[in-house]
A and B are shown apart, each in its own frame.
Chain A
């Protein structure tokens, strides 16, 4: 009886081992073959065009093929402001996509509604569909979008479905900090302690 028990335990651990490896392989395969559905509604669309064209060349990351049917896509780019009137359309497009599917909020309006805090705008697409990566910027620079795509690929490879935000490459407040008086270190104390800890 004791020997039999031991055999069963070994089988269980082997099955667990095999599953993780298949997931890793699938993640690796998926992250380099994203088929995108661009849901372009506003001015961020111009930045998306720059991104997809040769200068910034989204094709390097295997995510350049746009599918104009959500049924063939696994990455939804929400590019621009989503009005209340468009919300049901966006929800339907998302629901038509096959799993596994990912959503990328391109720009401030898609991420949070931006400055459109009014009767007509959805304050962020995460109010209606789950969102994987938020790319802030009005519009975001193509570099920021590429960062967002790499972040998404990283999440796909590691199976991490928690949402992420693309951080700026430089501290946007850096120039403001220089305006402070010399010797006034109150504003930077938190920065310094953070730097020392890293």
Chain B
């Protein structure tokens, strides 16, 4: 619908638009990360585009790709009633281990363009470790500050939890816990219905 928007972006930024496609009517442009902020500002301010609403901002992890993480934003124009999706790719995995083996995982913030991006960028930072340069308050939003690593990266171990307090190992009398939930035929139920009823029979 807004292929015109993609053409406008291509005409304006040329090589900075790495690729575009319009699958199922969803117009998507992949932007070079160096010009991310510039493209976003243009999308917001150009009278023909005027994308005044930031619907979503999130991250995607592709561990096999060279710029590993995609930052995706979905935009909507309440005046022109059209949508666009912008992506940029950041984050190289290097031999030298930085935090999570990610280096150069940074992109300009879009909070000055759409103030609503604030918490979205904090979430993307929390979950993927993308640093948004110039963000007013970049810290974790969902996980606790003691949490190490970024849980939605594909190389975060699926089983790994980081409890804030140690789990119980002894019961109140100081005896070691054998099993916590009761198991067995009655499951600790001291009255009634110890066995299932089938079709109303006892």
Whether A164 and B190, one on each chain, are in contact in the complex, defined by CB atoms closer than 8 angstroms, is yes
- Which listed residue, A84, A111, A126, touches B161 by the CB 8 Å rule? A84
Residue numbers in B under 8 Å from A169 (CB-CB): 193, 197
Q: Please, which residue of chain A has its CB at the minimum distance from the CB of B157?
A: A119
Complex Cα gap A87–B198 (Å):
40
- Of the listed stretches A7-15, A18-26, A154-162, chain B binds A154-162
Measured CB to CB, the closest approach of chain B to A65, in angstroms, equals: 25
Q: Is the CB of B188 within 8 A of A165?
A: yes
Task: Please give, as numbers and ranges, the residues of chain A lying within 8 Å of B190 by CB-CB distance.
Answer: 151, 154-155, 158, 160, 164
Residue interface mask A104-141, B partner, CB < 8 A = 1: 00000001100000111010101111110010000000
Chain A residues in 8 Å Cβ range of B189: 151, 164-167
A62 within 8 A of B: no
Query: Whole-angstrom distance between the alpha carbons of A171 and B168 in the complex?
Result: 33
CB distance from B127 to the nearest CB of A (A): 10
The answer to whether A128 touches B188 (Cβ under 8 A) is no
Q: Give B116-137 as 1s and 0s: 1 = Cβ < 8 Å from A's Cβ atoms.
A: 0000000000000000000000
CA distance A164 to B183 in the complex (A): 9
Which of B163, B167, B196 has its CB near the most chain A CB atoms (within 10 A)? Answer: B196
Which residue from chain B places its CB closest to the CB of A148 in the assembled complex?
Answer: B189
Min CB distance, B36 to chain A, in Å? 29
| Number of B positions contacting A (CB below 8 A) | 32
Q: Is the CB of B151 within 8 A of A120?
A: yes
| Chain A nearest Cβ from B148, distance in angstroms | 11
Counting CB contacts under 8 A, is A3 at the interface?
no
Does B187 contact A165, Cβ atoms closer than 8 Å?
yes
Chain A 78-121 against B: per-residue CB contact (8 Å), 1 yes, 0 no?
00000011011001000000000000000000011000001110
A120 contacts across to B, CB distance below 8 A: 142-143, 151, 161
Q: Are A167's CB and B193's CB within 8 A?
A: yes
Residues of B contacting A162 with CB < 8 Å? 182, 188
Determine if B62 is an interface residue (Cβ-Cβ < 8 Å).
Answer: no
* Residues from chain A with Cβ under 8 Å of B151 in the complex: 118-120
B164 at the interface (CB under 8 A from A): yes
Q: Give complex CA distance A130, B180 in Å.
A: 8
Interface check B11, CB cutoff 8 A: no
Question: A174 an interface residue at 8 Å Cβ cutoff?
Answer: yes
Distance (whole angstroms) from the CB of B55 to the closest CB of chain A: 25
A119 and B196 form a contact (CB under 8 A): no
Q: Is A165 within 8 A of B181, CB to CB?
A: yes
**A174, B144: Cβ atoms closer than 8 Å:** no
**Is the CB of B172 closer than 8 A to any CB of chain A?**
yes
- Decide if A119 touches B182 in the complex (CB within 8 Å): no
Find out whether the CB atom of B160 lies under 8 angstroms from the CB atom of A87.
no
Greatest chain A CB density within 10 A among B156, B162, B193 is at: B193
Partner of A163 from B158, B182, B193 at Cβ < 8 Å: B182
Q: A91-B165, A130-B172, A174-B196 are in contact. List 16 more A-B contacts (CB 8 A).
A: A84-B144, A87-B164, A88-B165, A118-B158, A119-B156, A126-B168, A126-B181, A128-B167, A128-B168, A162-B182, A164-B182, A164-B187, A165-B187, A169-B197, A170-B197, A191-B198
A-B contacts, 11 of them at CB < 8 A, read: A84-B164, A85-B144, A119-B162, A120-B142, A120-B151, A126-B180, A163-B182, A167-B193, A167-B194, A169-B193, A171-B198
User: Nearest 3 CB-CB pairs, A to B?
Assistant: A164-B188, A171-B196, A165-B187
B-binding residues in A (CB < 8 A): 84-85, 87-88, 91, 111-112, 118-120, 122, 124, 126-131, 134, 150-151, 154-155, 158, 160, 162-171, 174, 191, 194-195, 198
